[in-house]
Amino acid sequence: MCPLCVEECPAVCEVGKSAFRGREVLYPSTEYFGQSTAASNKDFHLDWSDFQILAELIGAHGIEPVPDKAFFENADITTTVASRSKRPIKLKVPLVIPGLGSTDVAKRNWDGLAKGSALSGIIETVGENVCGMDRDSIYSDGKVVRSPDLEFRISSFRALWDGKFGDIAVQTNVEDTRAGVDQYALSKLEVNIIERKWGQGAKAIGGEVRISSLERAIELKSRGYLVLPDPEDPSVQEAFRSGGFKTFERHSRVGFPDHRSFVEDVEGLRESGARHVFLKTGAYRPEVVAFTMKAASEAKIDMLTFDGAGGGTGMSPVPMMNEMSTPTVHLEAQVLACAKILKDQGRFVPDLVFAGGFTNETQIYKSMAMSNLGDGPLIKAIGMARAPILAVMKSEYFARLAESRKLPKSFSDQYTFEPETFFVKAPELQRRFPGQKLGKSIPWGAVGLNTYMEDRIGEGLKQLMAGSRKFKLEYLRRDDIAALSEYAGKVTGIETFDQMANRTMAAILQA
């Protein structure tokens, strides 16, 4: 609110708009819903920029220390999750796309996301509520027996999947579990991975989307969802038809996990045919982090994803994204403290994935390096959602602009109106898939996502690794990064530059 508020001011500020539209102002702008993503814009005073990667000169790890071999292109950025299962999952790039579910922005861009993930050899996760939001889903006695949308999402990934790297997972929340989505995915769609969901860093109240049709809102309420305002209320129907409001909110319920029942649930999923069982959770208070690590350890979860505050995708409430949940760096410090206790007791520590505002390779390096408690990084991969969506959205949008010859002049001056000229990996992908047409069976969104993941993040990560002379991810260590402030060091236990210098320099010079 401005320090001086004037009645005649033509701007509609947050308070002013709230007077007109109320709860609508809690959420990101509805104008671009389905064509945008949103995340926190708060400065949490501690993020990955508060750490610096250290360069090395002497020796090399993971490769012979000779100039002709210790070149960044020879760095190995592959990783493995579910590493202690009977069938570990290899990833070409240490990335996972966490659950992208029933939001319009995920559905509109799914073909590019799924096929780009398959090309990149990573794990793509079908998020919560997909079957429940599928207009063409068929239910019997409250259980889903067919969902064309879920079938499409899985088949889209498998169309370009080589079966060697990555896989597709299906995430299930309270509503999905009640509707038997996991059993349907395992038995009918032969999915290998089920991921249980306990929340996310952007919100802790369950998933939500906007519905612009009264009939659709009534249908979703009949399927058991919470729909606000009540679409069956005659006064609400009248207000909707008169234009008093234009969208309904569909919310899903939150779960209340219990340690013993969770362990039994995981055992049940494995008995039902799940090759791997994952868990995705949010950025809850420290004692919940400990509870989660303890339960995941006992259940021997194959992969555990923590999602720190700062991320987001479709329709998380803005005040909640900014002012609730534990920021990513703080959360990782808490998770690692729990992991150390478990390790010291000789107990199982799941393969970890961290999410929460990640966009580039420097953040990946720092997060993984910080997680090495003695025998390699516990964080095996990083989860990204908004950045991959952006890569796909922008790729498809520019391809459409090229087709209508409306590319920005600054862009068209460098390239032509043929997308093959501005997607740098287009020739390589065409050679790999000679029978497929780029822009059709391989959508431009998939080309863009693969370019972003392999050609930008992958190559950038190789360069960082070569600069620290670590040519395999397993060799990244906590002392490969330094804290830039005492506060960053205090929270994470990472040494500052002066602490590191005091510890190492005198011993070398006096030897």
> What is the residue-level pLDDT of the chain in tens, covering all 511 positions?
899 899 889 888 989 988 888 888 888 876 666 677 777 778 889 999 999 999 999 999 999 999 999 999 999 999 999 999 999 999 999 999 998 887 888 889 999 999 999 999 999 999 989 999 999 999 999 999 999 999 999 999 999 999 999 999 999 998 899 999 999 999 999 999 999 999 877 778 877 888 899 999 999 999 888 999 999 999 999 999 999 999 999 988 888 899 999 999 999 999 999 999 999 999 999 999 999 999 999 999 999 999 999 777 767 888 888 888 999 999 999 999 999 999 999 999 999 999 999 999 999 999 999 999 999 999 999 999 999 999 999 999 999 999 999 999 888 888 889 999 999 999 999 999 998 999 999 999 999 999 999 999 999 999 999 999 999 999 999 999 999 999 999 999 999 999 999 999 999 999 8
Looking at residue 318, its pLDDT comes to 85
Q: In angstroms, rounded to a whole number, what is the distance separating the alpha carbons of residues 491 and 28?
A: 31
Q: What is the DSSP string of 202-215?
A: TBSS--EEEE--HH
Q: What's residue 85's pLDDT? A: 96
**What pairs with residue 168 in β-bridges?**
124
Could you give the C-alpha distances from 6 to 1, 3, 12, 21, 291, in angstroms and in order?
11, 10, 11, 20, 51
Residue 270 host element (H or E): helix 259-271
pLDDT at 322: 85
Q: In this predicted structure, what is the pLDDT of residue 209?
A: 85
372-426 residue pLDDT tens? 999 999 999 999 999 999 999 999 999 999 999 999 988 888 888 999 999 999 9
Q: pLDDT of 265-324, one tens digit each?
A: 999 999 999 999 999 999 999 999 999 999 999 999 999 999 999 777 767 888 888 888
* Residue 33 pLDDT: 62
- Cβ(125)–Cβ(411) below 8 Å: no
Sign (positive or negative) of CA dihedral 15, 21, 23, 24: negative
Q: In the 8-state DSSP scheme, what is residue 255?
A: P
DSSP 90-123: EESSSEEEEEE-SSHHHHHTHHHHHHHHHHHT-E
In 3D, which of 111, 98, 108, 99 has the Cα closest to residue 33?
108
Q: Rg of the Cα trace of the chain?
A: 24
Q: How many CA atoms lie within 13 A of 97 on its CB side?
A: 37
Backbone angles phi, psi at 7, to 5 degrees: -55, -40
Q: For position 314, what pLDDT does the model report?
A: 67
Give bridge partners of residue 470 from the DSSP assignment: 61
Q: What is the pLDDT of residue 30?
A: 63
Any idea what DSSP says for residue 349? -
Query: Containing H/E element for 497?
Result: helix 497-510
Q: What is the pLDDT of residue 165?
A: 98
pLDDT of amino acid 203: 78
User: Quick one: pLDDT at residue 20?
Assistant: 84
- At which residue do the structure tokens 């998020």 appear? 127
**Nearest alpha carbon to residue 105 among 182, 28, 217:** 28
Domains of the chain: 48-207+261-391+455-492 (3.20.20.70), 394-444 (no CATH)
Q: Cite the beta strand spans of 215-323 per DSSP E.
A: 226-228, 248-251, 276-281, 303-307
CA dist 325 and 207 (Å) reads: 16
Q: What contacts 97, CB < 8 A, 6 or more positions away?
A: 113, 117, 122, 123, 124, 125, 383, 384, 385, 388
Cβ 28 vs Cβ 318: under 8 Å: yes
- Three-state SS for 305? strand
pLDDT at 406: 94
Residue 222 CA neighbour count, 13 Å, CB half: 10
DSSP 474: G
Model confidence pTM above 0.85: yes
Q: In angstroms, rounded to a whole number, what is the distance separating the alpha carbons of residues 24 and 17?
A: 9
**What pLDDT was estimated at residue 162?**
96
